[in-house]
A and B are shown apart, each in its own frame.
Chain A
Amino acid sequence: MRKVLPKACLNFFCILVYIFLAAPIVVVLLSSLTTTEYIVFPPKGITLRWYAELINHPEFMQSFTLSIMVALGTSVISTIIGTMASIAVVRYEFRGKTAVTQLIGSPLLIPSVVFGVALLQFFSWIGLAASPVALVIGHFILTIPFVMRLVVASLVGFDRSIELAAKNLGAGRLRVFFQITLPVIKSGVIAGAIFAFITSFDDLTVALFIVSTDVVTLPVRIYTYMQYQYDPIITSVSSIMILLTVILMVVIERILGVGKVFSSKN
């Protein structure tokens, strides 16, 4: 008895927390099915009308494509450059190493709003207009600390004798990297790439300062749309994004396994 009661309380509490966690997501998904002109929960009737309605709003599709492109670009660039920098930091001793690591980690300390404002001012001074490139630059800074953390973690436990073995068998430096090192730290690099993709795709704060009327990322589009409208279109757009995330996660889980992505160790 003494043992069962606390456990039941614990489980009950945890279930409440899980409901709290799931609630806003479930609400968005379900309200997208409503037949009414306004958002209501629980939905009245069931229809896919608000998904069909998206055809009349090509701007969402445009923003979606832009966001995907920016996120892909950020992810690729941030992963490549971040992996290079991680190798330098883990493998080499040089003067100023701590300063360099601290600098690259510092975006975690700077509120994104301030960084966004700073970037906007800087871009307007150097005459760089709102563009996918400008967005990628901003997102690169936001994502690289995460990429480096994950890649460094997978490099730290790396047994370097397999690189020596490959050299010994006749492989040059580039071959050793692409055929031996990279495949082994793969899970850390992929986790970094996923993290970078999600962070970029999700970013509102920095993008808010960089976008212009024809370069609008999806989070900015949704944010501005819901300032003025309260119709279920938003919920159908959001539902599609949620479903895409879930599909992405399932695919990754199939390829790598969740544990691998999050523990970033093999």
Chain B
Amino acid sequence: MQAELEMNQEQDIQFKQMKKKKSKKRLDSWLLLLPALSIFLFFFLLPLVFLFITSFKNFDAATGIGHDWTLQNYAKFITDQFYLGVLWRTVKIALITTLAAVVISYPVAYQITKVRGRMKNYLTLLVLSPLLISMVIRCYGWVILLSNNGVVNNALMKLGLIDKPLTLLYTEFSVVIGMVHVLFPYMVLSIMGSLERIDPSIIRASQNLGAGPIRTFFSVILPLTLPGIFAGSVMVFSLAVSSFVTPAILGGPQVKVMSFLTYEQVSTILNWPFGSAIGFLLIFIATITIIIYSKLLTKSEKGVAIQ
């Protein structure tokens, strides 16, 4: 009887100790997350929530943000031809950028996966280097290249192809050029990833069955890398839609896009509510892209499985 009691007590103590250990583990994980989470809640989530609230306030010329609730900011955007035009231009530029990025990235990705050893490292570094050098500087380089007496115009005139300078800078064209340059590495990395995942024996099998290199490329390699192209495109598109630096430097007020509009409303016109509403419409577009993308991706994966 006595012994049994002692046993029970001992087990009780052990049990309590173990409980302590378990809850300590849970505490550990939250302690590790605490700094990141608190900064996120306080300086990311909270500001965005407040901004969202602002987008439903009226504009007050004196203070910027009025006190009344309204849907006016969103209504203004979707009923005004000018703003819809900006939205369309933003999407159009992003689409063209994405398409151009695919076209110029694919051959480069293909070439890099073909070479081996040191050369591969150097080429990868070259392709990634745009990520390392300040975006402002790279865009500035394009300003020098594309301006009225810039390199491109001068060269074209020397060749006698044109006789007065073309307006290249501050056009949709210059914005697209800059964006392709900035976003190119993301596309290359994505395509390289899918190219490297192709089992070399599949290519050998295709050649073995009598397909030439071009035939092999179009009937085997290209279809297998479609998911990579797709993933890269979504990434580039959503970055292009929301990018600010490139359109600001290479487009300026002449080529307004959504992000520039937001900036302009907030910092020069001081219409905070309207600026916020534009910002959230931009978030909406970027999110929709991602959602459509993941839907399509699961569909295409099923398609592949059926084949």
Contacts and interface: CB of A to CB of B under 8 A. Distances in A.
A14 B30 contact: no
B297 interface: no
B44 A94 contact: no
Interface stretch (A53-61, A157-165, A184-192, A237-245): A237-245
Interface in B34-56: 35-37, 39-40, 43-48, 50-51, 54
Given A10-B111, A117-B275, A88 B40 contact: no
B151 A223 contact: no
Contacts of A52: none
Nearest to A7: B213
B67 interface: no
Given A17-B104, A21-B181, A113-B259, A241 B283 contact: no
Interface string B75-107: 000000000000000000000000000001001
A196 interface: no
B136 interface: yes
B29 A204 contact: no
B209 interface: no
Contact of B51 (A100, A103, A121): A121
A201 B134 contact: yes
A40 B54 CA distance: 46
B62 interface: no
Interface in B248-307: 248-249, 259, 262-263, 266-267, 272, 275-276, 279-280, 282-283, 286-287, 290
B71 interface: no
State the majority secondary structure of interface residues on A.
helix
A137 B36 CA distance: 11
A174 interface: no
Nearest to B290: A109
Chain B facing A: main interface SS: helix
Interface residues of A, number: 78
A91 B29 CA distance: 8
B144 A242 contact: no
A2 to B, nearest CB: 6
A137 B39 contact: yes
Contacts of B133: 25, 241-242, 245
Nearest to A112: B244
B83 to A, nearest CB: 16
B33 A258 contact: no
Contacts of B132: 198, 245, 249
A42 B152 CA distance: 11
A154 B147 CA distance: 45
A234 to B, nearest CB: 6
A222 B46 contact: no
Contacts of A226: 140, 143, 249
Interface stretch (B13-21, B120-128, B223-231): B120-128
Contact of A27 (B136, B141, B241): B141
Contact of A82 (B26, B36, B213): B36
B105 to A, nearest CB: 8
Interface in A16-59: 17-18, 20-28, 31, 39-42
Contact of B213 (A3, A24, A107): A3
B286 A21 contact: no
B130 interface: yes
A219 interface: yes
Instruction: Kindly name the residue among A14, A91, A138 whose own CB sees the greatest number of chain B CB atoms within 10 A.
Output: A14
A145 B125 CA distance: 22
A119 B43 contact: yes
Interface in B5-35: 25-26, 28-30, 32-33, 35
Contacts of B160: none
Contacts of B280: 114
A156 interface: no
Given A107-B44, A121-B47, A122-B47, A24 B249 contact: no
9 contacts: A13-B107, A41-B145, A92-B25, A109-B286, A113-B263, A117-B263, A118-B47, A222-B140, A249-B132
Q: Which 9 pairs show the lowest CB-CB distances between chains A and B? A: A24-B141, A111-B242, A92-B29, A122-B47, A114-B279, A88-B32, A118-B47, A118-B51, A85-B36
Interface of A: 2-3, 6, 10-11, 13-14, 17-18, 20-28, 31, 39-42, 81-82, 84-85, 87-89, 91-92, 94, 100, 103-104, 106-107, 109-115, 117-122, 125, 137-138, 140-141, 144, 198, 201-202, 204-205, 208-209, 219, 222-223, 226, 234-235, 238, 241-242, 245, 249, 258-259, 262
Given A103-B37, A141-B43, A226-B249, 18 more contacts: A3-B213, A13-B107, A14-B108, A24-B142, A25-B133, A28-B137, A85-B36, A88-B28, A92-B25, A92-B29, A104-B36, A110-B283, A140-B43, A202-B134, A219-B135, A219-B136, A226-B143, A249-B125
